[in-house]
Chains A and B, each alone.
Chain A
Amino acid sequence: MLRFARKRMLASLVSLVGLVILVFFLVRLTGDPTDLYLPIDATDAMREQFRANNGLNDPLIVQFGRYVWDLLHLDFGDSIRRARPAIDVVLEAFVWTLQLAVITMSLVAVLAVVLGSLCAFWAGRLFDRAVTFVSLIGASAPDFWIAIVAIVLFSIHLGWLPTSGTGGWQFWILPVSVLFIRPFGLIVQVVRGSMIGALSSPYVKTARAKGVKNRPIIFVHTLRNAMLPVVTVMGDQAAALLNGAVVVETIFGFPGVGKLMIDAILQRDFNVILAAIMVTAFAIFLMNLLIDLAYLLLDPRIRA
Chain B
Amino acid sequence: MTLADDTLAPPAEKPAALRLLAMLRRDKVACLAAAFLVLVILCALFGPMLLGEAATKQNLRGRNAPPFSLEQGWLMVLGADQLGRSLLARIVVAAQNTMLVAAGAVFFSALIGTVLGLFAGYGGKKTGEAIARLADVIMSFPSLLLAVIVLYVFNPSVANLIVVLAITRIPVYLRTTRAEILEVRERMFVQAAKVMGASHRRIMFRHILPMVLPTLLTIATLDFAFVMLAESSLSFLGIGIQPPEITWGLMVAQGRPYLNNAWWLAFWPGLAIILTTMSLNLLSSWMRIALDPVQRWRLEGGAKNNG
Task: Compute how far the CA of A12 lies from the CA of B259 in the bound complex, rounded to whole angstroms.
Answer: 44
Proximity string of chain B (239-269) to chain A, C-beta cutoff 8 Å, 1 when within and 0 when not: 0000000000100100010011001001100
Interface residues as binary, A2-13 with B (CB distance below 8 Å gives 1, 0 otherwise): 000000000110
Cα–Cα distance between A38 and B236 once the two chains are bound (Å): 29
Identify B141's interface contact among A19, A143, A145, CB under 8 A: A19
Give A18 to B142 CA distance when docked, in angstroms.
Answer: 15
Q: Is the CB of B237 within 8 A of A280?
A: no
What's the dominant secondary structure at chain A's contact region? helix
Stretch at the interface among B19-27, B112-120, B143-151: B143-151
CA distance A151 to B266 in the complex (A): 12
B56 within 8 A of A: no
Cα distance A12–B139 in the bound complex, in angstroms = 11
| Chain A residues positioned under 8 Å from B144 (CB to CB) | 242-243, 246-247
Given contacts A140-B225, A140-B278, A148-B252, are A11 and B136 in contact (CB under 8 A)? yes
Q: Once the chains bind, are A136 and B278 in contact (CB under 8 Å)?
A: yes
Q: Is the CB of B145 within 8 A of A261?
A: yes
- Report yes or no: A144 in contact with B149, Cβ–Cβ below 8 A: no
Question: How far, in whole Å, are A141 and B275 apart by their CA atoms in the complex?
Answer: 9
The reply to whether B152 and A136 form a contact with Cβ atoms under 8 Å apart is no
Within B123-148, the residues touching A (CB, 8 Å) are 133, 136-137, 139-145, 148
B237 engages A250 (CB within 8 Å)? yes
Q: How many angstroms between the C-alpha atoms of A139 and B228 in the bound complex?
A: 13
Q: From residue B31, how far is it (CB to closest CB) to chain A in Å?
A: 16
Tell me if B282 counts as interface (CB < 8 A to partner A).
yes
Task: Give the interface SS of chain B, mostly helix, strand, loop or mixed.
Answer: helix
Interface size, chain B (Cβ < 8 Å): 38
Q: Any chain B CB within 8 A of the CB of A102?
A: no
Contact A239 B232 (CB under 8 A): no
Q: What are the residues of chain A within 8 A of B139 when measuring CB–CB?
A: 236, 239
Total A-B residue pairs with C-beta atoms closer than 8 Å?
A: 118
Task: Check A139–B140 contact: CB distance below 8 A.
Answer: no
Which residues of the partner chain B approach A148 to less than 8 Å between Cβ atoms? 252, 256, 259, 266
C-alpha spacing A258/B266, complex, angstroms: 23
Q: Which residues on B sit within 8 Å (CB–CB) of A265?
A: 148-149, 152
Q: Any chain B CB within 8 A of the CB of A142? A: yes
State whether the Cβ of B208 lies closer than 8 Å to any Cβ in chain A: no
How far is B278's CA from A136's CA once the two chains are assembled, in angstroms?
A: 7
Known contacts A11-B136, A152-B263, A242-B142; is A247 also within 8 Å of B149 by CB?
A: no
* Interchain CB contact (< 8 A) of A239 among B141, B252, B282: B141
* A side interface size, CB within 8 A: 45
Q: Are B278 and A137 in contact (CB under 8 A)?
A: yes
Contacts of B281 on A, CB cut-off 8 Å?
A: 136, 139-140
Q: A106 within 8 Å of B by Cβ?
A: no
Q: Which of B142, B236, B259 contacts A144 (CB 8 A)?
A: B236
State whether the Cβ of B97 lies closer than 8 Å to any Cβ in chain A.
no
Q: List, in ascending order, chain B residues with CB within 8 A of A137's CB.
A: 274, 278
B179 at the interface (CB under 8 A from A): no
Is A140 touching B142 in the complex (CB atoms < 8 A)?
no
Of B142, B150, B270, B277, most buried by chain A (CB within 10 Å of CB) is B142
Which B residue sits closest to A12, measured CB to CB?
B140
| Pick from B140, B143, B259, B274: contact of A284, CB under 8 Å | B140
A281 CB–B CB distance under 8 Å: yes
B252 touches A23 (CB 8 A): no
Residue of B nearest to A156 (CB): B260
> In whole angstroms, what is the CA distance A265 to B153 when docked?
10
Contact of A247 among B143, B152, B237, B278 (CB under 8 A): B237
Provide a sorted-by-A list of 28 A–B residue pairs whose CB atoms are within 8 angstroms.
A23-B149, A137-B274, A137-B278, A140-B274, A141-B277, A142-B233, A142-B273, A142-B274, A143-B229, A143-B233, A149-B270, A156-B259, A156-B260, A236-B139, A239-B140, A239-B141, A242-B144, A243-B142, A243-B144, A243-B145, A243-B230, A243-B233, A246-B145, A246-B237, A250-B237, A265-B149, A273-B149, A281-B140
